[in-house]
Structure 1
Amino acid sequence: MIRAKTPILIAAGAALTLTAACDAQNMGGFGGPTNKTQQGALIGGIAGAVTGAATSKKSGKGALIGGAIGALGGAAIGNALDKQEAELRRDLENDRVQINNTGDRLIVTLPQDILFAVDSARVNNALRGDLLTVADSLQNYPGSTVQVVGHTDNTGSASYNQQLSERRANAVAGVLMDGGVGSNRINTYGRGENQPIASNLTPQGKAQNRRVEIVILPNAR
């Protein structure tokens, strides 16, 4: 077991070295703050190492090559996500729209009270502009797929909440397509009340759970 893991650990170490080199290049020296480009390189490097080891008879060589290639690809993805995130933060007008950059994806979260009226799946006109801004960004970065995921709180029946979350996800996806994003890039999902991010025991928690997430997933190159 130790021998099987060693090449992957070596490749992961190589990926870490590459992230440090990226940091040195970006910051003019070592010791700067970690960014999502570095995280992307590390994620890509470890994933590439695992894939390389699995597909090569010479697992050590395969893991090292896969790790290096994966780290480079992951760094490129992380860099693109950093740039896209900064542009979205600059261009989105509503400060309640949240953007989370995990290093391998962007998650744009829109509270449903600014997106929809109560019990409605019609997008508020005031938010169409921000959704069209996201659509412009997606067209500027065509190498990604998009998941639009609707969520509700637990008020009402679970079956109704499921249907409402699906309708709202489809409504947001419709605005993105109106903005020029190809339907082949978009997948919609309704999660109903099944994935809360806060307690449904308080009004504040319920408000956080009512949301639509636009998940931007860069395609592997």
Structure 2
Amino acid sequence: MTFKYSLAAVTLGALTLSACAPGMYGTGDPAYERDKTRNGALAGAVLGAAAGVAVGDDEEERRRGAAIGALVGAGAGAAIGAQLDRQEAELRAQLDANGTQIVNTGDSLVVTMPQNILFATDSYAVRADLQDDLRAVASSLQRYPNSVVDVVGHTDNTGEAAYNQQLSQRRAQAVASVLTRSGVAGSRVRVIGRGEDQPIASNLTPDGRAQNRRVEIIIRPTQ
């Protein structure tokens, strides 16, 4: 019973630290960058400990399994955090498109490209002059092959919801096609259309609607 409570306390503590770190520092602060790697290690330790518990037949075996799992998981989590930091820095240096945003969550990279820099109005053909940026993303994905990618299309709420859903899916597919034609394995890429369902700004203003029209490339390390 004591061991179960201890594991629960470690889990809660790790989640609390992970949740608090981004708010404590600016994203360019070295302390924030260290926290992302630390939180990756903490999350890995918790998952490793939980896996170690699952393989034990009695409390002593579960205790040993948790300790070993925590060490292995911490190392893996820290490695993922460090990989994301490197990949983020490289992408920031390579992407030229105005308005492109890169957010490192600690366990994934979210590359957000506004619709107006990728597509003409009401179109799902990627602009030729923007394909170089997508090819740069593809090159990054090839340099870091241990990841999967979600390409997610979003629209504002102008027009019919069904049409917006279809348009968001087609735009996500167009971006994914550039990535795969540039050498990224199709098995790593999932295409998702969210339509108008996940706004990040108010649809009541032109600026808000512009922010909502976007494609996100979400990169998640697998090991």
Given the superposition, is the C-alpha separation of residues 12 and 154 from structure 1 closer, same or farther in structure 2, using an over 3 Å criterion? closer
Aligned 1:163-202 pairs, distance under 5 A: 163-202=166-205
Aligned partners of 1:79, 1:12: CA distance in 2, in Å? 23
Given the superposition, is the C-alpha separation of residues 219 and 145 from structure 1 closer, same or farther in structure 2, using an over 3 Å criterion? same
* Amino acid of the structure 2 residue aligned with 1:164: L
- 2:31 pairs, out of 18, 30, 33, with 33
CA contact (8 A) 1:39 1:103 kept: yes
CA contact (8 A) 1:78 1:104 kept: yes
Are 2:215 and 1:217 aligned? no
Aligned partners of 1:76, 1:12: CA distance in 2, in Å? 22
Specify every segment of 5 or more residues in structure 1 that has no aligned partner in the other structure, as ranges.
15-31
CA contact (8 A) 2:10 2:46 kept: no
Corresponding residue for residue 17 of structure 1: none
Alpha-carbon shift at residue 3 of structure 1 (Å) = 4.2
Aligned partners of 2:222, 2:143: CA distance in 1, in Å? 14
- 1:59 pairs, out of 59, 62, 65, with 62
Identity of aligned residues (%): 56
Alpha-carbon shift at residue 12 of structure 1 (Å) = 8.1
Given the superposition, is the C-alpha separation of residues 6 and 173 from structure 1 closer, same or farther in structure 2, using an over 3 Å criterion? same
Aligned 1:79-98 pairs, distance under 5 A: 79-98=82-101
- 1:118 pairs, out of 121, 125, 132, with 121
Q: Deviations over 1:162-208 (max 9, x none)?
A: 10010000000000011111111111000111111111111111111
Aligned partners of 2:51, 2:172: CA distance in 1, in Å? 34
C-alpha RMSD of the superposition: 2.1
CA contact (8 A) 1:8 1:60 kept: no
Alpha-carbon shift at residue 43 of structure 1 (Å) = 1.8
CA contact (8 A) 1:121 1:171 kept: yes
CA contact (8 A) 2:98 2:117 kept: no
For structure 1, which segment, 194-203 or 60-69, has the greater mean C-alpha deviation from structure 2 after superposition? 60-69
- Secondary structure of the structure 2 residue equivalent to 1:148: strand
- Secondary structure of the structure 2 residue equivalent to 1:109: strand
The count of aligned residue pairs is 204
Corresponding residue for residue 68 of structure 1: 71
Alpha-carbon shift at residue 10 of structure 1 (Å) = 5.0
Aligned partners of 1:3, 1:12: CA distance in 2, in Å? 14
Are 2:137 and 1:139 aligned? no
Question: When the two structures are superposed, what TM-score results if normalisation uses the length of structure 2?
Answer: 0.85
Aligned partners of 1:201, 1:12: CA distance in 2, in Å? 39
* Amino acid of the structure 2 residue aligned with 1:40: G
